[in-house]
């Protein structure tokens, strides 16, 4: 077995096709964040992105995309931006994690959204958690019936708000896979305001993340594409989402809504209509990603398993990294495991956001009229 480290842009047509073939052969890898197209885009925008190309018996047996930061600290590709990481390989690959780290010139690798159970990483998993999905394999009607049975009160309330939004602001409809860049900018503006008002770091204050999103929005192939959906009331956009899809699944990424319409729960109305359109487009699931949002619990009809863990080679860097990161990781786990703590943390962050903005409500957004 041999491992070669390259930049994503060094991969040739044969390597990218092999990557796609390996991903399509394993249902556990059916996530757009594991696609070669995402790795290529990240490689164009960030100098620290690398790919370990693993060969066994003269044939490529796997790929491991990752980020190499200072002092040999490794992070999964996309780090805080993504909700799925992993090794794209043949199922029978026998490769130790520390052997992989040595080849990648990494002292430590920490992960929190790894595909659970991969033989290379499984011995180093410290926790395995469910990521909620909207399972559409039996069609939208079957999915909606399960959601209704799981939480009839919530389902009835959202359907009522859907009708109320239509009565008071015009017919409600969802646009699927909009190519309009202006509409994408509207969604990102909502998301930026949401980050700031809730005390989170505004990801879109970083130009490279905006550019990545724009590049992914422009991607459109049968096996990989950016999907922008937008919910309208009349001709006014009120809620939307931008995510990535493979041929059979959509992964959630950036949902947001205009806070002026918050009383209608437009985000949840949007998610139900998005699921209906996804099923109509032939997709089998919508991966909402793990997290503490309550709406995911009753919109879900299945789960995927993702793993948390840490791999280290003996070094001073690994020790310093452990001292600095472990308390934070444990605190995050404690908070996300307990809804009452999650809600308290959310209130504290929102209060901090209001203080930063002087207590002023968000400025009214401009709403482009749909031609």
Across the chain, mean pLDDT equals 89
> What's the CA gap between 246 and 228, in Å, rounded?
14
Backbone φ, ψ for residue 361 (5° rounding): -70, 160
Q: What share of the chain is helix, strand, coil (3-state, %, to 5)?
A: 50, 25, 25
Q: In terms of domains, do 234 and 106 share one?
A: no
The model's pLDDT over 304-355, given as tens digits with 9 standing for 90+, comes to: 999 999 999 875 554 554 555 555 555 455 445 555 444 544 554 455 455 5
Q: In terms of domains, do 253 and 118 share one?
A: no
Q: Are strands 285-287 and 88-89 parallel, antiparallel or unpaired?
A: unpaired
Instruction: Confirm whether 112 is domain-assigned.
Output: yes
Q: Domain range holding 271?
A: 138-283
Q: In terms of domains, do 246 and 174 share one?
A: yes
pLDDT > 70? residue 169 = yes
Cβ neighbour number for residue 347 with a 10 Å cutoff:
12
Q: Looking at the 3D structure of the chain, how many domains does it have?
A: 3
Q: In terms of domains, do 158 and 114 share one?
A: no
Token readout for 40 is 């290529």
Q: In terms of domains, do 45 and 121 share one?
A: yes
Q: In terms of domains, do 142 and 181 share one?
A: yes
Between 143-147, 170-174, 316-320, the lowest mean confidence (pLDDT) is in 316-320
Instruction: Confirm whether 144 is domain-assigned.
Output: yes
Instruction: Confirm whether 90 is domain-assigned.
Output: yes
> Would you say 219 and 226 are in contact if contact means Cβ atoms under 8 Å apart?
yes
Q: Are strands 108-115 and 172-175 parallel, antiparallel or unpaired?
A: unpaired
Instruction: Confirm whether 125 is domain-assigned.
Output: yes
pLDDT > 50? residue 362 = no
The share of the chain scoring above pLDDT 70, in percent, equals 84
**pLDDT recorded at residue 343:** 55
The model's pLDDT over 207-225, given as tens digits with 9 standing for 90+, comes to: 999 999 999 999 999 999 9
| Residues whose CB is less than 8 angstroms from the CB of residue 127 and which lie 6 or more positions away in sequence, other chains included | 307, 308, 309, 333
Q: In terms of domains, do 171 and 117 share one?
A: no
Instruction: Confirm whether 358 is domain-assigned.
Output: no
The model's pLDDT over 38-78, given as tens digits with 9 standing for 90+, comes to: 999 999 999 999 999 999 999 999 999 999 999 999 999 99
- Which of 347 and 243 is assigned the larger pLDDT? 243
């Amino acid at each position: 077995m041999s491992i070669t480290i390259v930049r994503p842009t060094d991969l040739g047509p044969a390597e990218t096709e092999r990557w796609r073939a390996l991903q399509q052969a394993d249902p556990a890898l059916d996530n757009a964040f594991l696609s070669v197209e995402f790795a290529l885009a990240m490689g164009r925008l960030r100098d620290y992105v690398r790919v370990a190309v693993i060969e066994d018996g003269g044939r490529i047996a796997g790929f491991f995309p990752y980020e190499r930061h200072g002092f040999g600290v490794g992070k999964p590709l996309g780090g805080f931006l993504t909700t799925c990481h992993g090794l794209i390989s043949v199922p029978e690959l026998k490769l130790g994690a520390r052997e992989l780290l040595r080849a990648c010139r990494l002292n430590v690798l920490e992960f929190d959204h790894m595909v659970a159970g991969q033989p290379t990483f499984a011995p180093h998993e410290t926790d395995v958690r469910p990521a909620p999905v909207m399972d559409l394999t039996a069609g939208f009607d079957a999915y909606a019936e399960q959601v209704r049975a799981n939480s009839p009160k919530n389902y009835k309330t959202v359907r009522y708000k859907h009708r109320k939004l239509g009565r008071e602001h015009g017919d409600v409809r969802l646009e699927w896979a909009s190519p309009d860049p202006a509409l994408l900018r509207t969604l990102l503006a909502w998301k930026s305001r949401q980050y700031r008002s809730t005390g989170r770091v505004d990801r879109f204050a970083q130009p490279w993340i905006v550019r990545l999103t724009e590049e992914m929005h422009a991607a459109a192939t049968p096996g990989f594409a950016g999907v922008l959906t937008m919910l309208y009331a009349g001709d006014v956009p009120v809620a939307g989402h931008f995510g990535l899809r493979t041929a059979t699944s959509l992964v959630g990424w950036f949902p947001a809504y205009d806070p002026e319409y918050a009383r209608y729960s437009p985000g949840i109305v949007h998610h139900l209509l998005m699921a209906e359109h996804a099923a109509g487009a032939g997709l089998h699931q919508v991966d909402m990603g793990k997290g503490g949002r309550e709406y995911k619990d009753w919109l879900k009809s299945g789960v995927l398993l993702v793993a948390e863990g840490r791999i280290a080679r003996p070094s001073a860097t690994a020790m310093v990294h452990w001292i600095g990161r472990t308390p934070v990781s444990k605190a995050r786990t404690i908070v996300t495991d307990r809804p009452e703590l999650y809600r308290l943390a959310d209130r504290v962050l929102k209060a901090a956001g209001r203080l930063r903005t002087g207590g002023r409500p968000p400025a009214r957004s401009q709403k482009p009229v749909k031609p």
